[in-house]
């Protein structure tokens, strides 16, 4: 189909969309726009692909892709019908199995959404962590750190070098005020564990032995042609050690929630089974 033909269809459908805002039935006659042997694609099949806010150009692209996709699908379907044997084409059982599985899945999801308690307490998380901490081993070094990136044109860099290392509240406040004015990046990961590699990507330095560096150094100071980079490492946890509880918490929460879901579904299935058994709703020969 030509671009002009598709544009005509698009314009008619957009007009139909506008009219249908006030009518329950679209008055535009249904016209065939593509044919593959004895199967037809009609203008009405394109409704819903776009609306009155879609540009003509975008509508043409969407319509052309939909039409070409429909043609390819019909051609492949005919090839499948011609070339597959009768056994391969007998898909009634597969369709019924899929329908049954889909209905059961949706029913379970509805019950989970309605009835499952999704609140995981801190005590539950800590108990699981203490019992299975060996399952939570770090595969990379992680840190809590302060990271600064400051232009070389910024003033008072020597003061910054003092402030960022200090734990004195006044110096911390001075640093924050300064960074809001001059820092290109000012990120405080004091309350969040991050992979050390993610931090190193941000700065022009190469640390071959991360473990040794983290054990013996608390600061990184480096520069390039345009910027100074400062890192203060507040805490670290090394690769191959047990993850800190705070770092493992979200994963543990997901594990506990999934376990609760499995228990809920298992109890649901057993409850339905036992209820049917008590009411003689099935017979096993």
Domain boundaries, the chain: 3-86, 94-136+243-285, 138-237
SS3 assignment, position 126: helix
One digit per residue, pLDDT tens: the chain, 285 residues?
A: 555 555 555 555 544 444 344 433 444 467 888 888 888 888 888 777 766 676 777 778 888 888 888 899 889 888 888 888 877 777 788 888 899 999 999 999 999 999 999 999 999 999 999 999 999 999 999 999 999 999 999 999 999 999 999 989 999 999 999 999 999 999 998 889 999 999 999 999 989 899 999 999 999 999 999 999 999 999 999 999 999 999 999 999 999 999 999 999 999 999 998 999 898 888 888
Q: Among the residues of 116-155, which ranges form H helices?
A: 122-132
pLDDT of residue 26: 45
Token pair belonging to 13: 């459908």
Q: Which CATH fold would you assign to the domain 138-237?
A: Chitinase A; domain 3 (3.10.50)
Q: Please give the pLDDT value at position 196.
A: 95
DSSP 44-57: GGGTTS--TTS-HH
- What is residue 2's predicted lDDT score, i.e. its pLDDT? 56
Tokens at residue 258, please?
């999934």
* Helix boundaries (H) for 167-244: 169-182, 196-200, 210-216
Distance separating alpha carbons of residues 176 and 140, to the nearest angstrom: 30
Contact 197, 140 (CB under 8 A): yes
Buried/exposed code over 93-123 (b: 16+ C-beta within 10 A; e: otherwise): eeeeeeeeeeeeeeeeeeeeeeeeeeebeee
Interior angle at CA 196, CA 193 and CA 199, nearest 5: 95
- Residue 3 and residue 40 in contact, taking contact as beta carbons nearer than 8 Å: no
Helices (H) and strands (E) in the chain, counts: 10, 7
CA 160 to CA 232: how far, in whole Å? 12
SS3 73: helix
**Residue 228: enclosing H or E segment and its boundaries?**
strand 227-237
Using DSSP's 3-state secondary structure scheme, residue 17 falls into helix
**Quick one: which of 179, 188, 186 has its CA closest to 143?**
188
Distance CA 282, CA 276 (A): 7
Number of Cβ atoms within 10 Å of the Cβ of 129: 19
């Amino acid at each position: 189909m030509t671009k002009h033909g598709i544009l005509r269809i698009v314009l008619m459908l957009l007009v139909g969309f506008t009219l249908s805002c006030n009518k329950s039935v679209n008055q535009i006659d249904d016209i065939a726009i593509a044919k593959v042997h004895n199967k037809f694609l009609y203008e009405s099949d394109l409704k819903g692909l776009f609306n009155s806010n879609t540009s003509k150009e975008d509508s043409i692209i969407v319509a052309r892709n939909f039409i070409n996709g429909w043609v390819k699908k019909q051609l492949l379907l005919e090839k499948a019908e011609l070339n597959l044997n009768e056994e391969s084409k007998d898909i009634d059982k597969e369709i019924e199995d899929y329908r049954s599985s889909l209905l059961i899945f949706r029913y379970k999801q509805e019950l989970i959404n309605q009835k499952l308690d999704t609140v995981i307490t801190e005590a539950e998380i800590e108990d699981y962590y203490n019992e299975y901490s060996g399952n939570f081993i770090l595969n990379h070094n992680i840190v809590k750190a302060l990271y600064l990136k400051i232009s070389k044109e910024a003033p008072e860099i020597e003061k910054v070098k003092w402030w960022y290392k200090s734990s004195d509240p006044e110096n911390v406040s001075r640093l924050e005020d300064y960074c809001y004015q001059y820092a290109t990046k000012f990120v405080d990961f004091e309350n969040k564990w991050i992979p050390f590699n993610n931090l190193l990507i941000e700065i022009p330095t190469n640390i071959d032995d991360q473990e040794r560096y983290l054990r013996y150094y608390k600061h990184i100071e480096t520069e390039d042609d345009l910027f100074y980079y400062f890192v203060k490492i507040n805490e670290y946890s090394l690769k191959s050690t047990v993850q800190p509880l705070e770092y493992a918490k979200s994963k543990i929460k997901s594990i506990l929630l999934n376990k609760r879901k499995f228990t809920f579904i298992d109890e649901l299935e057993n409850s339905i089974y036992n209820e049917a058994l008590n009411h003689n709703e099935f017979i096993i020969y």
